[in-house]
Structure 1
Amino acid sequence: MINDAMSSRVNSGGSTISGSSTEFSCIEADKENIQPLKQGRSANNLVKALSLNKETRKEVLARERDQFEASLDPAQLEDLDDPLDPYLKYLDWIHTNYPSGANTESGLIQLLERITHDFKDDDYYKNEVRYFKVWLEYVKFSDNPRDIFHYLYKKKIGLSLTLLYESFANFMEVEQDFKKAEELYQAGINAKARPLNRLIRAYENFKIRRAQSSQVQKRQGLGVLQNPSGGGLEKVAKLAPSRSSKAFAVFNDSEAKPSSANDGIWQHLDTIDNSRKENVIRPTSWSGEKLLQQRVPKANEPTFEVFRDDELRFPVTKIIHNPGKRTEKFDFNFDLLYADKEDEKSLMEILLLSRGVYYLAKKRKSERTFDTPSKKHTPLVDSENETKLLNSPTLTFYSRQSMKEVLQMLNQPLKETKVSTEEPPLDEGLSDFVTETITNHTPATPRKLTNDDTGMLSSPFVEEPLHSEPGKGDVLINPFDHNLQKNLLYKQSSHLLHYKDYHQSTTKREKCSILRSLLKPHAAPIMGSRQLMMEFEGETFCFTKQLGVVDKAATYLSEKSDGSVAAIKVCSPPVEWEYYILKQMEVRAPGNFIKVIDFYKFEDESYLILPYLKHGTLLDLIQLTSQSKSLKLEESMVIYLAAQLLKQISILHSISIVHANLKAENCILNLTPNTKPSYQDLKVIDFQDSIDLSLFPENVRFSAQLSANTYPPDEMWRSWRYEPDYYGLANIIHMLLFGRELGGVKASSNNFKIREDMPSYWQRELWNELFKVLLNSRDIDCEQGSPLKLLAGKFENWVNLNWSSCGLSRQLAKITEFLDDQRKRNKI
């Protein structure tokens, strides 16, 4: 029988109040897992804690923990006379219900860190005994107690308490640093720490222990012979310790002075998890793990690698043996010119084949062969002052220089036309599809054209001449032209086919209309409908909910047969451009952006399968927090999100890709609460309008009109390159800060800036620099994303320095919980 620690107490008169007793056999089986407490444990409470079954116990404890967490809400703590009291009750509850002490389930260490952190700057609690005892409990779990004691000394926590000097001195005594221990006792006595008498007694006991220890060492020294062999002085030299056989001696600074507690290195105390991060093996599943086998000795390898030129090309030769004739040797690729015995190709045809446009030229030629000649032809050149380029649905092969010469030839009278014997030089710096904007031509005299001249001049990429002159040497084109993207993709088609996640079929699916009719925006999910099931490469996907729709593309949430979920973007007609951009991002900057799972292209539709990020878009977060009374986006959290946005777009620009449609609904969240910044909580999506600058000349600029909903109809958008992404970033961050779109900007000293005034307690210097760069991107060099990289670095530095002090980990956990609740309400 053991008496309950809480049921037997001695009253003021000395009598004992007896209560119920607990059989020791009730807890005997678990005694090895019960950690002792200094104040003891209640046997009755132990029986209650250990008697419940696992599932019931888990539910009860989770419910009670939620109540304690709610009591620690800052809004409630502000009205309490003793804000520390709810924390201590929470701590007692953990001690009672988790007898095994600190583990991942109890959260004891995390709570101790919260208590010590939340009151470390409160002058009232710095010398409060209950608060300091929490520190002493926290020290027990640390691998570096000395660091914590130095931190307490630096922050002036417990300087008026005997507990600090006793604990610190005892630790130094165990470490055999008696000088430091004595200094601590003397410092506490000089500071008149309370209770002073107890500290004086502890100091006297310390001096007694130290004296006894020195006497024991002296007696041991007298009882040992200096020369055990007894051979006299001549043998002493032989007993001298032999020199170390080590190659070098380890330096030992005997004169080193211990660092003072007032050194400026203890301003921040890291968490226990972070301090152990190099010594902790992360838990992982056993599935797929491999046991290390005995290493097989490797064969001797050369100490250096012989250089091998992979790009070295040897001359192509071919030897032809003809019976009865001399053997012929050709120093060129004979098979290119004579691929078929009946069909000989010229050098120009081979060049067109290498560019992937030969079949188009043949097609136009065959079409002209069957045309019936007519006496009436539409002239290619108008007599007006402006030159207009005709649209053609096919790709033409020409360069900028040849374009000029052709136009000059067509604008001359027929009699003065001279046949050129030299071909115009090809401008290798331009792609086949880029033409220079031509304005202000001299009126040309109309002339008659032969039938073969019809359709000679065409360009699907410049629909009309631009009236504003671009910069010197710049080329203006429309990057969103469907024919342009189609021709660019045609050139890359051979590369796309090599990707394992690219699947192409000539069949039709005809599912897009069914999906749109059954799955409506903001409607509840539909589970298990046969009409919404599709099979790709043997895997069945069940479409359950529409996540978003833009023009002819809709994104759906789908569930596989194994229970995993994915987001599928369905386009009709099929669109390959976004898949191409995503694969280029994956190759050029692996691990930084959302990764394609699979892409299926059919005759009528395309299906782009992507990972599903469960916490919605930035726009959802902005709208929900603006409507919520309990959750608001704090400035520090906006800085954390802005740092991730800036970093992603800077990487995007460094690999020569422009997003061109950057807005809050195209930024998806996948929050993961952590004790340190991960910078992996946000991903940019929707690259359907993105631009790969590596496919264009270096001097290209774009002239397409951007969406008026996202970008203001200003002169600056008539010729742009990276500018839309800069303005889009400014608009998103403005929404995070103020809850509304940028709307308009005002000019000041030739610079644009936001109209809103910022509170004085905000990081004004950081925000002013950000908006100055983002709103005035035309005046800076935006190549390779260098301005955004500098901004991202400054924002990340601020986050790293203020992560703990601003409670960003707690904010992130609160936002994650809030968004998870929203998902449950919406049944996603």
Structure 2
Amino acid sequence: MGSESEDTVSFTVIENEKENITSLKKGRSAKILHDIIKSKITQQDYNSQKQVFETALLHHDNDTLDTYMEYINWLLEINFKGPQNDILLQVIERCLVEFNHNIRYRNDPRYLEIWLLYIDSFYMDALTEKRDMFIYLFRNKIGETLSIFYVEFSKLLFAMNRYDECYDFLMIGIQNNAMPNDLLLNSFKDFKVELEANGIVITPERNMEERNIDDMLLKYGNIKILDKNLEEILKQGPVHTMINQIRSSKLDIHVDDNDDSIQSDNKLQIFQDDWTNWETKSSKLKENKAIVTPLIPNTSIEPIKQDIKEIVKPSDKILIFNDDIGRMKPIYKTILIDGQKPQRIDYNFDLINNGADEYNLEQLLAIMKGCYRKRDTKRELDAEERPLKKPHHSGL
């Protein structure tokens, strides 16, 4: 047994860090929190203990879920200022993925507890996403026989003012004999008291005995999981074996009576293996986010310093397009006429009247191409008038 000084908790130590301590739904132990703050665990100690858990997960031959529980609880206690580098998110999602396809753990209270921690910790500000995650658990029958699943889901639905859905899922929990019974029944009584206190009246469409999971999915399944809703899911696969289950539904579902590949024992398409996966939260965090740093006592909060990018200076490289390259500016000819305004003509008269000679446009083009040659007409006429001399043939 420890001494009295060892068991004493100094709240002065906790007081200096109170603004940095994140709350837990199950609460924190003041003794553990006091010891962690006072011991001032270094980064090396943190990494060493983390490696112990990682090694235990690799070499644990039996039930690794207990190791995950200890690992997660240690991270929650040691990182009282918030998770470092999303390590808590990564460990929780590793655990959920590892046991996601194992039927043995679907109704394990420990596994459901980690799921609820995951939803409460990383979807706290998104009620719609939280509801989607509960629907995912419901579709995959995770926590189907545990009262805490229906209680927590009903609290969320009540907060979203979805009173009919809240009633339906509490009824499903009672019908499935979820344990412990008293927890679910007390939650249902509290739900009815809240309805009466707020003057809310709901009208259930059917009796409790007629309700089943498939009916609830058809009624409340038009949420998007993996960017698909229930109607799209049902239309993608074989459905003619479900006619008796969905005949009362308003969904317009195509039925192919000639499809012989459908087995008679098929269930709703949403229970197939393709729907046992979900996109993890860590894979969605692709955008840059600000680094969360704890507040330091007795210091003022200053504005975040912005990174100043280097100003790009103009370069000497040739521009992609420039009108001035290889072109001359237009040349204008100004004509002055007495009593009139001067006229400016967009034409270079100096090319036509070049000194004593005058050229037309064809001649100018020939000069530009270097093929212009001035003909001597007088010499040509003299050559035409001069008689041709007959060749002189010498005799043999």
Structure-2 separation of matches of 1:67 and 1:189:
42
Query: Which residue of 2 is the match for residue 43 of structure 1?
Result: 30
Q: Does 1:98 align with 2:79?
A: yes
Structure-2 separation of matches of 1:94 and 1:202:
31
**Structure 1 residues 213 and 325, CA gap change in structure 2 (3 angstroms):** closer
Aligned partners of 2:93 and 2:280 also within 8 Å: yes
Pairing partner for 2:306 from 283, 286, 289: 286
**Structure 1 residues 333 and 21, CA gap change in structure 2 (3 angstroms):** farther
Structure-1 separation of matches of 2:6 and 2:166:
45
Counterpart residue type for residue 22 of structure 1: V
Pairing partner for 2:221 from 259, 262, 268: 259
Query: Which residue of 2 is the match for residue 301 of structure 1?
Result: none
Structure-2 separation of matches of 1:31 and 1:321:
95
Greater Rg over alpha carbons, structure: 2
TM-score between both structures, scaled by the size of structure 1: 0.28
Structure-2 separation of matches of 1:336 and 1:62:
84
Aligned partners of 1:149 and 1:168 also within 8 Å: yes
Counterpart residue type for residue 221 of structure 2: S
Query: Which residue of 2 is the match for residue 163 of structure 1?
Result: 148
1:250-281 alpha-carbon deviations (Å, 9 max, x no partner): xxxxxx96426893476532222455667x65
How far 1:18 moved relative to its partner? 11
Counterpart residue type for residue 213 of structure 1: N
Uncovered stretches (5+) of structure 1, i.e. residues with no partner: 1-5, 9-16, 217-255, 291-307, 339-828
Counterpart residue type for residue 319 of structure 1: L
**Structure 1 residues 319 and 166, CA gap change in structure 2 (3 angstroms):** same
**Structure 1 residues 173 and 122, CA gap change in structure 2 (3 angstroms):** same
Query: Which residue of 1 is the match for residue 111 of structure 2?
Result: 131
TM-score between both structures, scaled by the size of structure 2: 0.55
SS of 1:120's equivalent in the other structure is coil
Q: Does 1:83 align with 2:92?
A: no
How far 1:202 moved relative to its partner? 1.7
Counterpart residue type for residue 287 of structure 1: D
Structure-2 separation of matches of 1:70 and 1:336:
87
Counterpart residue type for residue 188 of structure 2: Y
Query: Which residue of 2 is the match for residue 33 of structure 1?
Result: 20
Structure holding more strand per residue: 1
Structure-1 separation of matches of 2:2 and 2:133:
37
**Structure 1 residues 215 and 185, CA gap change in structure 2 (3 angstroms):** closer
Structure-2 separation of matches of 1:325 and 1:131:
104
Structure-1 separation of matches of 2:29 and 2:367:
93
How far 1:52 moved relative to its partner? 5.4
Q: Does 1:185 align with 2:166?
A: no
Deviates more, 1:19-28 or 1:320-329: 320-329
Aligned partners of 1:101 and 1:108 also within 8 Å: no
**Structure 1 residues 322 and 207, CA gap change in structure 2 (3 angstroms):** closer
Structure-1 separation of matches of 2:357 and 2:367:
21
How far 1:286 moved relative to its partner? 2.9
Counterpart residue type for residue 152 of structure 1: L
Structure-2 separation of matches of 1:211 and 1:276:
42
Query: Which residue of 2 is the match for residue 823 of structure 1?
Result: none
Structure-1 separation of matches of 2:285 and 2:71:
26
Matched ranges for 1:612-651 at <5 A: none
Structure-1 separation of matches of 2:35 and 2:110:
27
How far 1:107 moved relative to its partner? 1.5
1:121-166 alpha-carbon deviations (Å, 9 max, x no partner): 1111111101111111111121211010000011111001111111
SS of 2:351's equivalent in the other structure is strand
1:759-781 alpha-carbon deviations (Å, 9 max, x no partner): xxxxxxxxxxxxxxxxxxxxxxx
**Structure 1 residues 110 and 285, CA gap change in structure 2 (3 angstroms):** farther
Structure holding more helix per residue: 2
Counterpart residue type for residue 146 of structure 2: L
Structure-1 separation of matches of 2:79 and 2:135:
30
Pairing partner for 1:148 from 117, 133, 157: 133
Structure-1 separation of matches of 2:187 and 2:2:
33
**Structure 1 residues 210 and 18, CA gap change in structure 2 (3 angstroms):** farther
SS of 2:198's equivalent in the other structure is helix
Ranked by relative contact order (alpha carbons within 8 Å, sequence separation 6 or more), the top structure is: 2
SS of 2:22's equivalent in the other structure is coil
Seq. identity, %:
28
How far 1:211 moved relative to its partner? 1.7
Aligned partners of 1:321 and 1:327 also within 8 Å: yes
Structure-2 separation of matches of 1:23 and 1:273:
37
Counterpart residue type for residue 211 of structure 1: E
Aligned partners of 1:33 and 1:99 also within 8 Å: yes
Aligned partners of 2:9 and 2:31 also within 8 Å: yes
Structure-2 separation of matches of 1:277 and 1:109:
14
Counterpart residue type for residue 90 of structure 1: Y
Q: Does 1:107 align with 2:94?
A: no
Aligned partners of 1:169 and 1:181 also within 8 Å: yes
CA RMSD after TM alignment: 4.2
Matched ranges for 1:208-607 at <5 A: 208-214=193-199, 258-259=220-221, 263=230, 264=233, 267-275=276-284, 281=289, 286-288=306-308, 319=351, 323-327=355-359, 329-331=363-365, 334=368
**Structure 1 residues 33 and 319, CA gap change in structure 2 (3 angstroms):** same
Aligned partners of 2:76 and 2:83 also within 8 Å: no
1:156-177 alpha-carbon deviations (Å, 9 max, x no partner): 1100111111111111111111
Structure-2 separation of matches of 1:155 and 1:271:
16
Counterpart residue type for residue 147 of structure 2: T
